[in-house]
Amino acid sequence: MAGARKRTTSAGRAAPKNRQVPWLLIGSLVVILALVGGIGFFLFDRSSQISPWRPSEDNRDPSLAIPGIVTAAYEGQHHVLPEQRVAYDRLPPFGGPHDGYWAACNGQVYPQPVRNENMVHALEHGAVWIAYDPARVSGAALDTLTAKVSGQNQMMISPYPGLDQPISLQSWGHQLKLTDPTDPRLDQFVTSLKGNPFGVFPEVGASCDALGAGAFDPADPPRFDPPPYPPNALPMDYQGTSGAGATGGAG
């Protein structure tokens, strides 16, 4: 017969052609599914790592949920002169009238106690101040605290003799006292309040750098001035000089 005969089965039907497996299509689908799965896992993993202590529009001050937190309302930008003292209502203080020049708070580790009035001004700039009793915190415990400050903007640490607890954390209008440097509430406090952009402290965006010679010298800060306060100490409702620092410093 002319032409090639069709191959038939024993039943007389034409034999089916061998089907080609679409490996390219299958491979593409596998790659796409892997990418989609990887992106989903990445997004889920990121969402699971977002700290509940990080401030947001929906939760502007997460620190309020920290057990033991103490808060108070203070009006900012009331400055005193370098020779003046404020009769603070809390020790360490965490708000109220303060020196016109702020303590450097760009990861500053102070080996000696520092004047309250300068430290409080740094809190107004969004800093967190870790104070510790040098009689009860030293060695590895002090190293743990110092490591949380070194190299971190809006952080500072200093000894504070006579504390009623070994460790005291301060942010403007907030305080938390601890006995253990590994207490998880320390990181919760810092995450919630350091540089919080939602109006928790008066001067969002203000600098933590020292102004230089003649202002506040981090290498030789004003001396610590604990109670008892002198008779001429200024009260907490002292209005002082608002806006620019009474000593010429801004902020």
Q: Which of 105, 68, 117, 109 is nearest to 234 (CA)?
A: 117
Q: What's the rounded Cα separation, in Å, for the pair 135 and 154? A: 26
What integer pLDDT is reported at residue 171 of this predicted model? 98
Task: Check: pTM over 0.75? Answer yes or no.
Answer: yes
All domains of the chain, ordered by start, with CATH?
Answer: 63-193 (3.40.30)
Asked if the model's pLDDT at residue 57 lies above 90, the reply is yes
Residue 67 pLDDT level (bands cut at 50, 70, 90): very high
Average the pLDDT over 46-61 and give the result: 82
Burial track 77-108 (b if 16+ CB lie within 10 A, e otherwise): bbbbeeebbbbbeebbbbbbbbbbbbbbbbbb
Asked if the model's pLDDT at residue 246 lies above 70, the reply is no
Give per-residue pLDDT as tens, 4-20: 455 555 555 555 555 66
Average the pLDDT over 74-98 and give the result: 96
Q: What's the rounded Cα separation, in Å, for the pair 11 and 13? A: 6
Residue 248 pLDDT level (bands cut at 50, 70, 90): very low
Average the pLDDT over 78-92 and give the result: 96
Token pair belonging to 59: 């939760």
Contact present, 127 and 171 (Cβ < 8 Å) = yes
Asked if the model's pLDDT at residue 49 lies above 70, the reply is no
Q: Which of 131, 116, 124 is nearest to 82 (CA)?
A: 116
DSSP for residue 209: S
Mean pLDDT (the chain, rounded) = 86
Asked if the model's pLDDT at residue 229 lies above 60, the reply is yes
Q: Pairing between strand 174-178 and 70-71?
A: antiparallel
What integer pLDDT is reported at residue 45 of this predicted model? 46
Average the pLDDT over 153-170 and give the result: 98
Average the pLDDT over 229-248 and give the result: 76
Average the pLDDT over 232-249 and give the result: 72
What integer pLDDT is reported at residue 29 of this predicted model? 76
Contact present, 119 and 158 (Cβ < 8 Å) = yes
Give per-residue pLDDT as tens, 101-158: 999 999 999 999 999 999 999 999 999 999 999 999 999 999 999 999 999 999 999 9
Burial track 154-184 (b if 16+ CB lie within 10 A, e otherwise): bbbbbbbeebeebbbbbbbbbbbbbeebeee
Residue 39 pLDDT level (bands cut at 50, 70, 90): low
Contact present, 138 and 187 (Cβ < 8 Å) = no
User: What is the phi/psi pair of residue 46, to 5°?
Assistant: -65, -40
Q: Which of 56, 105, 111, 65 is nearest to 203 (CA)?
A: 105
Q: What's the rounded Cα separation, in Å, for the pair 88 and 98? A: 10
Average the pLDDT over 87-106 and give the result: 96
Place of tokens 């502007």: 60
